[in-house]
Amino acid sequence: MTQSIWRDYYVDLSAYLTDGAAVYEIRKGATVLYTGRAVERPDGSCDVRVNDVCAAFLSSALPDVETLGFTADDSLVDFALYVGGSKVEDIGLYRDWSYDRQWEPYTGGVSSAPVRRVADTRMPILQSRLKTATVSVDVRGTTSSVSVTGPGVIAVPATGAEGTVTIGSDVWAVKDTCRRYALYYVNAYGGWDQFVLEAGAETQEYARDTVEHDYDNNDGLAPGTVVYRSETTRSWTLRTGILTDEEAAQMYHLGNSVQAYLYDMEQDEWHPVVMTQASWSPRRYRMGKQRVELTLGCRLAQEEVRR
């Protein structure tokens, strides 16, 4: 059975008890990832919830974006629970934290859920997959087949020109947007998506740690205060532009992402970032009707320290 990581998954170990307890292992292939001990309850039952343990071993790494192709990842892992060297149960879990009871990404095999299928000519396009398949990719009229060998990401490099990109059944409009930033993020279903931002501005904050030294007043160049550590915090304020009602309803995938990169298309630089805030602003258009714009905040997920 394969299911979302957010759903509780229990394994009954009551048949494997020795002196009121069972020592078990969770493995990925031949590798032991975790060893635990389950104790019999007063009513004689003994089950363990394994999805919390397995969550730490699921990941969605940013793929190679320079080459058209597929990069495998661990967004879905086939675990197995063993007791005493014998397999008790196979456990397939994938990195879906959506708590969405109406949709299972594994059913369709695609965990990407882009808010808007528009890309800039300078940015790559990503689509996350969960199942083995041969996927047709069309880039501005040139079609090729990409072999998907399991969970991972299909990457289409920047086209450099306007047109369309089709990955499977998803069609992207590629435009010269004249925008600077695009946000790449892991959505609530565990797949990679991207969004071209309407505007963005960077700020830098500085923090300094100092120590006071004795100094000779006769020496005009002798410092009394010495900076022994200086840290720069880089952050960005980003705007999505006007969103439709449908797009606005899907923005939780972006604003609440736990893994994101800000791509500076002008400088061709990737920045790992932490999403820090999201706020809505109503905008009027067409005979007084309203749409909303989302303002996002993020900061660099790395230290920039000088000593």
pLDDT digits (tens, 9 = 90+) for 172-219: 999 999 999 999 999 999 999 999 998 877 676 767 777 777 776 676
Domain ranges of the chain: 1-57+76-95
255 backbone dihedrals φ, ψ, rounded to 5°: -65, -25
pLDDT in the model for residue 281: 61
pLDDT in the model for residue 49: 94
pTM: 0.87
pLDDT in the model for residue 283: 56
pLDDT in the model for residue 285: 56
In terms of Cα–Cα distance, which of 157, 132, 135 is closest to 146? 135
Give pLDDT < 50 ranges for the chain. Answer: none
In terms of Cα–Cα distance, which of 160, 199, 164, 165 is closest to 176? 160
CATH class assigned to 1-57+76-95: mainly beta
pLDDT in the model for residue 102: 84
H helices within the chain, ranges in order? 51-54, 105-108, 245-249, 252-255
In terms of Cα–Cα distance, which of 252, 228, 253, 251 is closest to 240? 251
* 3-class secondary structure, 210: strand
CA dihedral 264, 267, 269, 275 (to 10 degrees): -30
pLDDT in the model for residue 41: 93
Cα–Cα distance measured from residue 220 to residue 218, given in angstroms and rounded to the nearest whole number: 6
* 3-class secondary structure, 51: helix
